[in-house]
Structure 1
Amino acid sequence: MSKWGDFWRTMSTELFLLAYVIAWVTVLLMTHMWAQ
């Protein structure tokens, strides 16, 4: 069971980081488009 717990904890962390990066990229792209 601990293996699955670690798996889900790792997955949630990876997904959180991925969402964070996507949000930053989106903000930067929007700013870049508006700058032009």
Structure 2
Amino acid sequence: MTPEALAILQQHLLAALNNVPTETRRLFHGRGRVWPGL
């Protein structure tokens, strides 16, 4: 993937995560093996 495509993908993912309830987002925290950086 090109850097531009990755940036767009990241934007879409962050926008989608912002619309998810806090309880759901909490599930992804602390799982560096699957979601590094969250």
Q: TM-score, normalised by structure 2?
A: 0.50
What stretches of structure 2 of length at least 5 have no aligned partner? 25-38
The count of residues paired between Structure 1 and Structure 2 equals: 23
Structure 1 segment 21-36 matched on structure 2, within 5 A: 21-33=9-21
- Runs of 5+ consecutive residues of structure 1 not aligned to the other structure: 1-12
Q: Which has the higher helix share?
A: 1
Return structure 1 stretches of 4+ with deviation > 3 angstroms.
none
Query: Which one-letter code corresponds to 1:16 in the other structure?
Result: E
**TM-score, normalised to structure 1's length?**
0.52
Question: Structure with the greater relative contact order (CA < 8 A, sep ≥ 6): 1 or 2?
Answer: 2
Larger Rg: 1
Q: Give identity over the alignment, percent.
A: 13
